[in-house]
Structure 1
Amino acid sequence: MAAAGARLRAFRLGLRAETIAVWLLRLKGWSILGRRFTEGTGEVDVIAVRGRTLAFVEVKARADFARAIEAVTPRQQARIRRGAEAFLARRPAYAGYVVTFDVILVAPRRLPQHLANAFGL
């Protein structure tokens, strides 16, 4: 029972962090194309576009930014890349766009931090 409560709290924290990330991106002029995109073994928290740049964004909420950035492991990066590939395969209109993999870090009592192009292809 305690494990289910912990999972629910983590899920809610993740949703709040994604909402914060979406608002940050909107304030920076990005349009949101999708949230919680999943296909096959790929998953992306937020997909955003600004001009001819398409960003696949991972959102991490932790007690501090150092722990948040450590949570973006190579395995997670691969999952995000697979999600990006699936998204682009179904939407050829974005084929000519510049693709970035961004991370938004969320920590209590801190403004969120947007790391553009946090990891490569």
Structure 2
Amino acid sequence: MGVAMRSGHQPAVPAVPDRTTPGRTLAGRLPVCGLPAGRQTPHNPAARAARGRQAQRQGLAAEGRVAQALAQAGWRIHGRRVRTAAGEVDIVAERDGLLALVEVKSRGDLRKAAEAISPRQQQRLLLAGAILQGENPDWGRRGMRFDAWFVAPEGQLHHVPDAFREMG
């Protein structure tokens, strides 16, 4: 089972291939952002734990912003941080019978956020989607798609609908 990257238009920036799968990238579908990459902290366990807590808070805030944007656009939120045997889905939403499994990434810039959705993670989300549809047969009667939302530190949101899909 492979994953096909969706692209409905020419990217605003050249694509940076994923290191594990040539030609597979979401980063090429983003506008140029121009944000600094952020500071690196020297390795020590306390600093690493603090960075982890900060990243978790930022991730929760980003997911909240995306869930709010989806709700304002008429999507019904079935759940946030929905756990399946295949792993966690950040947001599960539905509108007009279309189920969207949403992956939210928040990084120092939008390109880094897009690069964070690896082919392995895409496969995990595909499996999670199959599990959720099996457990909830009333969800997604008109189909299912996988959306990516990228959140930059200043709050800029970028939505890539139908970001990837299973190859037949």
Identity of aligned residues (%): 38
Q: Which residue of 2 aligns with 1:80?
A: 125
What are the residue-to-residue correspondences of 1:12-51 with 2, within 5 Å?
A: 12-51=57-96
Contact 1:35 1:47 in 2 (8 A): yes
**Aligned-partner Cα distance in 1 for 2:58–2:128:** 22
Name which one, 1 or 2, has greater alpha-carbon Rg: 2
Structure 2 matches for 1:1-121, cutoff 5 A?
A: 1-94=46-139, 96-121=141-166
- Gaps spanning 5+ residues in structure 2: where? 1-45
SS of match in other structure, 1:94? coil
Gaps of 5+ in 1: none
| Distance change in 2, residues 1:31/1:95 (3 Å) | closer
Give TM-score, length-normalised by structure 2. 0.68
After superposing on structure 2, the runs of 4+ consecutive aligned residues of structure 1 that deviate more than 4 Å are: none
Counterpart-to-counterpart distance in 2, 1:109 and 1:4: 23
RMSD, aligned α-carbons: 1.3
Structure with greater helix percent: 1
1:95 offset after TM fit, Å? Answer: 5.7
Taking structure 1 as the reference length, the TM-score comes to 0.93
Equivalent residue letter for 1:71: A
Task: Give the equivalent residue in structure 1 for 2:9.
Answer: none
Q: How many residues align?
A: 121
